[in-house]
Amino acid sequence: MQNRVRDCREQAGWSQGELARRLGVSRQTINAVETDKYDPSLPLALRMARLFGLEVRELFIDHWMPEDE
Amino acid sequence: MDKMVAGHSAAAWKKSGIGALVGAIVGAGTVAGLMHVAGTDFIDAMGGSRVALAGVAILYLLMAAFVGFGLAVPRTGARLLNVADADELREERAGMGRSVIVMGAIGAALLALALARTPSFPTGPVPAQAAAAVLALVIAGGVAASWAWRWQYDELNRQLGIEGGYWAFGLSWIGLTLWGAADFLGLGPALTAIDVVTTLAAMMLVGAFVAIGRRGLMMR
């Protein structure tokens, strides 16, 4: 899933390690999320969004649309 | 932007290639050296199943040694290991250190088992009781460590563990079922107890690599 985590992190002036520390995960996890190799769990996505002051849907981009009834 | 992505991809391929090449050279050199030291008679006496188990054990030990080297010398280690940079090795030292301990312990236990003195291998250098004790110790230690470290792994580690286990079980099930059935039906080589141990240990590694590779995490 596409996301804006790298942009937000860089805007905040944090390294991957710093963001990992703030979220209580490994730097490997932050790298994998930023490079779209791992979709975080809902709790982690919520924490990321809260940390950046955004809604989850603003941080993670999903193009899925419900089919018309 | 495309050039940047292509450049990063080329660099990632180059880094992975160098790591794989160094691993292959060190691995082949280690196995050749050990076989030379052991001698042809010893290898023949071991038989195929023990040699295969020893090979898998050496893989675990080499991986532990590589990661341990990377932690000891992060700047050089970052060029060989699947990490973003030397800082990642420094920051993730605790977690990677646990991996070194686990892989090293598994490798040592498997090697002790492969070299155990039994009626079919009377020249085995490790007394059977000692091999059993090492294996029991490693399994008990592994269970205790898994419990003690259960909160030390984050969600990506846990997810990769689940996916690796899924692949390891599936591949082991297919391999052992086919091999066992072939043996039972008299259509293939005998499946011995030690072959089951070897297959499970090897498939744990294969499963981990498949899980990591499928997510594109082999290249950083």
Asked if residue A27 belongs to a domain, the reply is yes
Alpha helices in B115-185 (DSSP H): 128-148, 155-184
* Total number of domains in chain A: 1
Q: Which tens digits make up the pLDDT trace of B89-115? A: 888 888 899 999 999 999 999 999 999
B92/A26 touch (CB, cutoff 8 Å), yes or no: yes
Q: Please tell me the distance in Å from B156's CA to the nearest CA on chain A.
A: 6
B88/A27 touch (CB, cutoff 8 Å), yes or no: yes
The predicted structure's pLDDT at residue A54: 95
Residue pair B135/B194 in contact by the 8 Å Cβ criterion = no
The predicted structure's pLDDT at residue B1: 47
ipTM above 0.95, yes or no: no
Asked if residue A22 belongs to a domain, the reply is yes
In chain B, which residue's Cα lies nearest the Cα of A16? Answer: B88
Partners of A38 on chain B (C-beta within 8 Å) are 156, 159, 215
Region class of A55: left (phi > 0), else alpha (psi between -120 and 50), else beta = beta
Asked if residue A42 belongs to a domain, the reply is yes
Other CB atoms within a 10 A radius of the CB of residue B203 amount to 23
Q: Which tens digits make up the pLDDT trace of B73-82? A: 999 888 888 8
Give the mutation candidate from B82, B91, B160, B215 for the A interface (greatest A CB count, under 10 A): B91
What domain range includes position A3?
A: 1-56
Region class of A13: left (phi > 0), else alpha (psi between -120 and 50), else beta = left
Strand partners, B116: B126
Asked if residue A69 belongs to a domain, the reply is no
Of A26, A38, A41, the CB nearest to B95: A26
pTM above 0.90, yes or no: no
Compute the radius of gyration of chain A from its Cα atoms.
Answer: 13
Q: Which stretch, B14-23, B86-95, B109-118, has highest mean pLDDT?
A: B109-118
A25/B217 touch (CB, cutoff 8 Å), yes or no: no
In chain A, which residue's Cα lies nearest the Cα of B8? Answer: A35
Sequence spans of domains, chain B = 40-151, 153-219
